[in-house]
Chains A and B, each alone.
Chain A
């Protein structure tokens, strides 16, 4: 929808959606192109946003224990939503099912809505009036909530929110989220130091 409005053809919009399949990167690319950025600047911004998928992959490869031959195919579905759903599952079996179901349904839905959106953005009307723009953050919040079990996780989440929002107006799109990811090593480091100085066992080893 957005990209149809910024000078991309229907074919270009759909190819982007089918092959990139990382919403934030697609929006970043389209936004940068619409703002008159060169192709490489635009692509660099989109890549920056895609880097977080590598972190999800780190977690998922361990959790799903995928055979080496399957990984190149599974890789395309490593995105925010599949990672969040899989990581929320209690067992490897349900994590695998979660990954495949989420990946498949999102892939179909995402590309179908891209096509529909590009075909007739006006026909669908103003999605914001229906409050649909709140669905995205609500989904993320629902997936995040079960991960916030201990104080360490809550501290990381709180620091990440501060970094993500505080840096948003001053850094290029996509970069604040990456900086916010640094909340994880920062909190781990601070916790490690504190427990080392007290001489007791770190929380994570109990």
Chain B
């Protein structure tokens, strides 16, 4: 039962948060500072998420095969490789380094 309560609260809460962002009146976004900030927030969030998913295992910082894979993705991006190739490079290099015992 406890699990259902937790699921219910999470479902409603997560939906409300998503909807709130969409319903903020457009007028509030017209000010240049707000617009700049709204453009920069995804940059900060994506950068932090990328770093965490690369270098963490739970709450511990680790350096493993994923770092090599994401580095390969970065190189592919600099070479302007298509999206799927970038992801494939990351997956392939990670698997390769792991197979070699990294």
Contacts and interface: CB of A to CB of B under 8 A. Distances in A.
Nearest to A49: B14
Nearest to A29: B10
Nearest to A179: B48
B24 A61 contact: yes
Contacts of B61: 165, 168-169
A50 B41 CA distance: 14
A138 B65 CA distance: 13
Interface residues of A, number: 90
A142 B24 contact: no
B53 A140 contact: yes
A188 B46 contact: no
Contacts of A131: 65, 69, 90-96, 98
A205 B32 contact: yes
Interface stretch (A37-45, A105-113, A114-122): A37-45
A122 B74 CA distance: 32
A97 interface: no
A188 B40 contact: yes
Could you tell me the dominant secondary structure of chain A's interface residues?
A: helix
A59 B14 contact: no
Interface residues of B, number: 70
Contacts, number: 279
Given A39-B6, A165-B56, A61 B18 contact: no
Interface in A126-171: 128-145, 147-148, 152-153, 156-161, 163-165, 168-169
Contacts of A42: 6, 10
Contacts of A46: 6, 10, 13-14
Contact of B50 (A7, A16, A144): A144
A143 B2 CA distance: 38
A183 B13 CA distance: 25
B59 A177 contact: no
A71 B19 contact: yes
B67 to A, nearest CB: 9
Contact of B21 (A61, A138, A140, A164): A61
